[in-house]
Amino acid sequence: MMRSARPLAFVVALVLLLSEAVSHTAATPGMVYVAVSRDNRPVVGLSAADFIIQAGGTNEPVLSAEPAADPISLLLFVQTRPDDTSLARAALRSLLDLVRQMNPQARVALSNGPATPPFLSVTAQAEMLNRTIGVLYAEPDLGSLVERLPELTRHLSEEPSRRRIILAITPPGFTHGLRLTPDTGPDLQKCGCQLWGIEVGQVGGTVLDHDAVYSDLIEQSGGREAIVYGAPLLDVTLRQVATLMLSQYRVTYQHPDSNKPLTLRVGVRGQKGVQVYAPGWTVD
């Protein structure tokens, strides 16, 4: 079972473009990575004419839209219950196979303890990544994800690719959004990083300890949030989420000549029942 982030046919990305982070002129294009889904499947075949970009409430010309071919730098933050370990490992190996197939130049880091994890080539260092999965749960306390986001985003900001994603797989409530620091949002923005999350609840359970701060960070950064009830469903859900993530569009638009913060909205024309996942900040 998966839960949609927001059931809107028109955009779901609304955040500030911070003028102090990047200096734009009217001639400098903006760029966002956008995922579009319908019924949990990517919507393919879109072009620049299908997208709508609003900055500060004003429509801006969309210059291009094409399937993103940039290598992904993907940081996996994984914490599951001890009884779910073997199922989680199998799901992660399946995920790496999918990433290798769809984005062979990707680099992946697996967080398996309090230390900052190294990024490894999903193709050239495949065996090393598989061994890392085998010891992923040797250190059960990874620390609060929200508390560690500034550290993890700084690590991601050193990656050469601009397509940067944190994918968290955690039990409900583990993210502890109350530990949000003043640097968390700005660090995500500066890194140009999207936060995606899957919460793994118990079979037949309900998520009572919902973390609203964590959900807001996912939405603001342009990621997707999903919930599964039972680790046996993790493999299917993880592949659905990863397929959407790997099927992003790279959309460029004419950035307005403005020296003040602007809100950004991304939408799709003429598509019923779609959901749009796009970050509200750009790194140009």
Higher pLDDT, 130 or 12: 130
Whether the per-residue pLDDT at 25 is higher than 60: the answer is no
Q: What is the mean pLDDT of residues 252-279?
A: 86
Higher pLDDT, 24 or 207: 207
Closest residue by Cα to residue 171 from 195, 135, 131, 141: 141
The pLDDT of residue 103:
98
Sequence-distant (≥ 6) Cβ neighbours of residue 164 within 8 angstroms:
72, 73, 75, 156, 157, 191, 192, 193, 194
pLDDT confidence of 22, banded at 50, 70, 90? very low
The pLDDT of residue 189:
83
Residue 138 to residues 47, 80, 132: CA-CA distances in angstroms? Answer: 46, 12, 10
Q: Please give the distance of CA 224 from its chain centroid, rounded to a whole number.
A: 6
pLDDT confidence of 35, banded at 50, 70, 90? very high
CA distance 185 to 221: 9
Lowest mean pLDDT across 28-32, 121-125, 140-144: 140-144
Q: What is the mean pLDDT of residues 73-102?
A: 92
Higher pLDDT, 137 or 246: 246
pLDDT digits (tens, 9 = 90+) for 143-199: 778 888 888 999 999 999 999 999 999 887 766 666 677 878 888 888 889 999 999
* Domain boundaries, given as residue ranges, for the chain: 15-64+260-277, 72-246
CA distance 279 to 76: 19
The pLDDT of residue 147:
84
Whether the per-residue pLDDT at 20 is higher than 60: the answer is no
The pLDDT of residue 28:
75
Burial of 270 by CB count in 10 Å (0-12 exposed, 13-18 middle, 19+ buried)?
A: exposed
- The model's pTM is 0.87
Cα-Cα end-to-end distance for the chain: 37
Q: What is the mean pLDDT of residues 45-65?
A: 93
CATH class of the domain whose range is 72-246: alpha beta
